[in-house]
Amino acid sequence: MTRRRSSAASTCSFSSACYTGSSDEDPVSPREKKQRNTTGFTDFCVKNISSQHSFGRREIEIAEKEMPGILALRKRASDDKPLRNAQIVGCTHINAQTAVLIETLVELGATVRWAACNIYSTQNAVAAALAEAGIPIFAWRGETEEDFWWCLDKCAHSDNWNPNMILDDGGDATHLMWKKYPIIFKGIKGIVEESVTGVHRLYQLVKIGKLTVPAINVNDSVTKARFDNYYNSKDSILDSLKRSTDIMFAGKQVVICGYGDVGKGCAQSLRGQGCVVYVTEIDPICALQASMDGFRVVRLNEIIRQVDIVVTATGNKNVITRDHMDRMKSGCIVCNMGHSNSEIDVNSLHSPELSWLRVRSQVDHIIWPDGRTIILLAEGRLVNLSCSTIPSFVVSVTAAAQALALIELYNAPTGRYKSDVYLLPKKMDEYVASLHLPILDAHLTELTDEQAKYLGLNKAGPFKPNYYRY
């Protein structure tokens, strides 16, 4: 254990040492350091490039082995360079899987500048590896809010470089460009957004007539929603809870707030571990789905005193209020699986009568005057990317969809897309899925000419109409 803590792994934000210790704490802000990579490149700001980049490169190589779709796309399109002269500002989680996407975009001809969309999810060694590769990246684990906007601004605006594409996760890059650099924003050819929060913000801009560029909503593409949102959440909710708290799940009572694709994945996974799972919902269709899947649909106030774990997955704000937390049992674990950090009213916990005790990285005990304690993970931010790793395979699905959406918007002829929000074309969704079938040894059945004519389909697809619900 001593040897591991002194290795490069101990400074990486996704090693177990980092989750259970304080090795990612550094009193010196990266903004105060003068760093350069081995070629003299300095246009980046990461935690520590010299000691971390080789470890981060190994992690990227490991992720590549589980990301067949995005690598197949890279190989097929690298000669054509469909993103030649594209200048992409990116604001996503920065981890090994995202690094594979970033390097694919560069391989396809783009220049990029990248920041993190979450102050706790950056894998420092991976960020260092990207900086060593000469990619302008501004991110480190544990940024302050002021650091976050500084990093994003460094990506959005640089001497002799203006973005013409945005790849966003949460809408922050879009919001910054729209508010602070409106002239540059008018020159954007397209926006690709992958989160429910960011999509909501785009539709708000459309509603008030302020969206002046076309955008593709990747979050609601079939491949993102049905695979990344569901299977990623199903896999990583257990990993994040186990790593951060060492909890045994069997017999625990859990409430999942929200039964969308993320909530469904969490609920199914926790029930499979022997938990008693409750669901809260505002949507009668989702509530009926939960009921018929065997979950009891309740109001939060009915069970808040008895549950051992609370998981939010709604994309809403103040789903868990101070009143709820005042009534939770001692030892209750509270975490968020939605993109935004607004679902749990964390600000209300910063009050004089409550004490905060950091017991592990991203694990805080909030102590009431009577000694009762709740366990808050990642300060209410996305728990699976703050307290654990995520499965590379399903991220490959989303990454391939993002890359195709960027290629589509960048190369679209004038007039194809108006200043509105679009879904990924069905044909592209099917293509993304097909890229991932060979590694699973899956063999598609082909329609005969007679069958295709009977169904009114092209033998090559698309196979479902846009209104089809998978």
Phi/psi for 412 (5° steps) reads -65, 135
Type of residue found at 358: R
Q: Is 90 annotated as a binding residue?
A: no
Q: What is the dihedral of CA 95, 100, 102, 107, to 10 degrees?
A: 160
Q: Is 456 annotated as a binding residue?
A: no
Q: Is 43 annotated as a binding residue?
A: no
Q: Is 263 annotated as a binding residue?
A: yes
Q: Is 95 annotated as a binding residue?
A: no
Q: Is 252 annotated as a binding residue?
A: no
Which residues are 251's β-sheet partners?
none
Q: Is 331 annotated as a binding residue?
A: no
Q: Is 213 annotated as a binding residue?
A: no
- Binding-site residues from annotation: 260-265, 281, 384
- Binding-site residues from annotation for NAD(+): 260-265, 281, 384
